[in-house]
Amino acid sequence: MNTQENIQQLLGIISRKERKQLFKQIFSIVLKSFLVFCVLFGLVFVLNNFYGLDAKISYFWRYKILAEPQPKKKTVAKYFLPTAKEKTQTILPEAEDNLLIIPRIEIKAPIIWDSPWEGKKMLQNLRMGVIHLSGTAKPDEIGNVVIAGHSSTPIWDKNNRFGKIFANLDELKIGDLIELHFNRQAYFYEVKKVFQVEKDEVWVTQKTEVPTLTLITCTPIGTAQKRLIVQAQIVGERKPTKIQSTKKHSSLLPRL
């Protein structure tokens, strides 16, 4: 006698009322197991992405619920239009060099130049700031400057100051200003596009004819499913003069 026949025979022995109670018990066990799984999954997700979620909730609370005024848009005119007495460009103090500044989402982070696209060294660099991907342009070169950063890190990684640096990157709007400091010069870029790509769409890092800045992070928070891309173009009178060299890049965008 096979299993199916055994089940049919068993159901024939017990009453209809007992069968109904049995099915209720089975359904209750399955439902409770599912709810426990959901709670555990949610807890693990929150713990694994605590700092990124905290940054997003804080931003939403301040600027959407409390309606605090957002940081004022910075103008670039004073940096590029010298007075009659000022014939040379402003030289930044050394302490202000190698920085990424994004007023709208209150970012001021050091840039680690020429970082690898993957591996232990990349992860070490991400703990010190945002990373410039090796093989892409520098701000003084005509091409595509590609900078990447974390959107979230686990709650136990509490010493990682830059683990949530790009958590609110999706809040950038067309026209927002981004500032790069390189070789003690300030370069300004205006946001033109904010979009998502798959992890293998490395075309976003390729050389461009117009001096471009590309920012990259993982999205949605807590996954490496896709990449959030912000692309901006240089504005003002200070523009790069060198030509970006063409180098082979990775076949996948960094996992951040």
Q: What is the full DSSP assignment across 176-187? A: -EEEEEETTEEE
Q: What is the pLDDT of residues 174-186, one digit of tens each?
A: 999 999 999 989 9
Among residues 168, 176, 207, 158, which one has the least CA distance to residue 103? 176
Q: Which of 7-21, 82-96, 196-210, 218-232 has the lowest mean pLDDT?
A: 82-96
Spatial contact of 219 and 153, defined as CB atoms under 8 Å apart:
no
Q: How confident is the model at residue 8 (pLDDT cuts 50, 70, 90)?
A: low
Query: Residue 26: what pLDDT?
Result: 84
pLDDT of 88 > 50? The answer is: no
Query: Residue 78: what pLDDT?
Result: 45
Selected residue with higher pLDDT from 180 and 32: 180
What's the average model confidence in pLDDT over 161-190? 92
* Averaged confidence pLDDT in the chain: 80
Q: Token pair of 155, please?
A: 């709650």
Q: Token pair of 233, please?
A: 């173009």
Q: What angle do CA 130, 160, 58 make, to 5 degrees?
A: 85
Selected residue with higher pLDDT from 148 and 10: 148
pLDDT-above-70 percentage for the chain: 70
Query: Residue 131: what pLDDT?
Result: 96
Domain boundaries in the chain?
A: 3-47, 49-243
CA-based diameter of the chain, in Å?
103
Question: Across-strand partners of 189?
Answer: 178, 234
Question: What CATH architecture is 49-243?
Answer: Beta Barrel (2.40)
